[in-house]
A = this chain, B = another copy of it.
Amino acid sequence: MGEIADPARKSIGARRNLDSAEAILEAAEAVLIEAGYAGFSIEAVARRARAGKPTIYRWWPSKAALLLEVYQRQKRVDLPDTGSLQEDLVGFLINLFTHWRQTSSGSVFKSLIAEAQSDETAAAALAGYAGGRRTHTGQIIERAKARGEIAGDIDPGVVADLVASYAWRHLLINRLDEPEATIRKMVRYLLQGIEAPGR
Contact = CB atoms under 8 A, between A and B. Distances in A.
B162 A189 contact: yes
B196 A193 contact: no
Interface of A: 36-38, 85, 110-111, 113-114, 116-119, 123, 126-127, 130-131, 148-152, 154-155, 158-159, 161-162, 164-166, 168-170, 172-175, 182, 185-186, 189-197, 199
B123 A194 contact: no
Contact of A169 (B110, B165, B190): B165
B150 A196 contact: yes
A130 B169 CA distance: 9
A165 B113 CA distance: 15
A113 B172 contact: yes
Contacts of A154: 189, 194
Contacts of A150: 194-196
Contacts of A113: 113-114, 117, 172
A186 B163 CA distance: 11
A144 to B, nearest CB: 9
Contact of A158 (B161, B189, B193): B189
B149 A38 contact: no
Contacts of A37: 117-118
A20 B34 CA distance: 40
Given A158-B182, A158-B186, A172-B168, A194 B130 contact: no
B36 A118 contact: yes
